[in-house]
Structures are given as C-alpha cells and as structure tokens.
Amino acid sequence: MPRHIRQGDSVIVTSGNDKGAVGEVLKVITKKDRVIVKGVNVRNKNIKPTQNNPNGGVIKQEMPIHKSNVSPVIEGKPARVRFETQKDGSKVRIGLIKDGKGKTVEKVLGEIHSASARPSGK
C-alpha cells in the first residue's frame, strides 16, 4: 500500500496527546506503520552509567506514533493525499484541502517516480 507520509514531510498530529502539533518526519518505520516526528511524543529515557558516561542520566527522545495519527500539512491545515500519474508518466503525491469558501485546493507534495524511472507498458 502506498505511503501518504514520507521522511522529510511537514505533518500535523490529528489525534493523541500532541494533537495539533506540527513537525517534520524524521524517520518512517514501515514494518510497524509508525513515524517519528520532531518535537512530538517526547519522552524521558533513563541512561545507565557506563565507562563513557559514568554518571548516567536522563535524555529526552522522540518516540514513534502511528502513521494514521498524522497528516501532511498544507497552509496550516491537515491534508488528504491522492496519488496521480501525470501526462509525462511521472507519479506524484497530491495534497488536498478545502479553503474557506469550500473550494478544493491541490498542492503537489512530491514526486514518487520520475517519467524515466517508470516501466513502459507491458
């Protein structure tokens, strides 16, 4: 199944404790359908004392959240994602939002495959 979220995307959290927070996707964990977003779901992690760090300590770390709880952000609003093949053969992700008047606004989020990389025909 295609991913609506990719590494480097700007996303907004749509549910959970950090609802409404906006951040950049640092990592996508495909096997568990989770993403790590910068500044979201930050937890304290205790570090044991080691020879390199004899005092140990506590660090703050972003923990993964499920990919269904985030949406790409366009103009400050969460967007739905559609995949479309352009006339030149390239495949792109398109974000859709409704503006204040009810019109649909489309924005290309990124190219998935270029026209030269896609297989031709059968």
74-117 pLDDT, tens digit each: 888 888 888 888 888 888 888 888 887 777 777 777 777 666 65
> What are the distances in angstroms from CA 108 to CA 30, 41, 70, 79?
23, 28, 18, 11
Is residue 72 within 8 A of residue 5, CB to CB? The reply is yes
38 domain residue, yes or no = yes
121 domain residue, yes or no = no
Report how many domains make up the chain: 1
122 domain residue, yes or no = no
- Residue found by looking up tokens 């590494």 in the block: 7
Domain that holds residue 38: 10-113
pTM for this entry: 0.78
Assign 2 a pLDDT band (cuts: 50, 70, 90).
Answer: low
Coil, strand or helix at 99: coil
For the chain, the average pLDDT equals: 86
1 domain residue, yes or no = no
**The domain that contains 103 carries what CATH number?**
2.30.30.30
Higher pLDDT, 118 or 80: 80
Average pLDDT of the segment spanning 17-44: 94
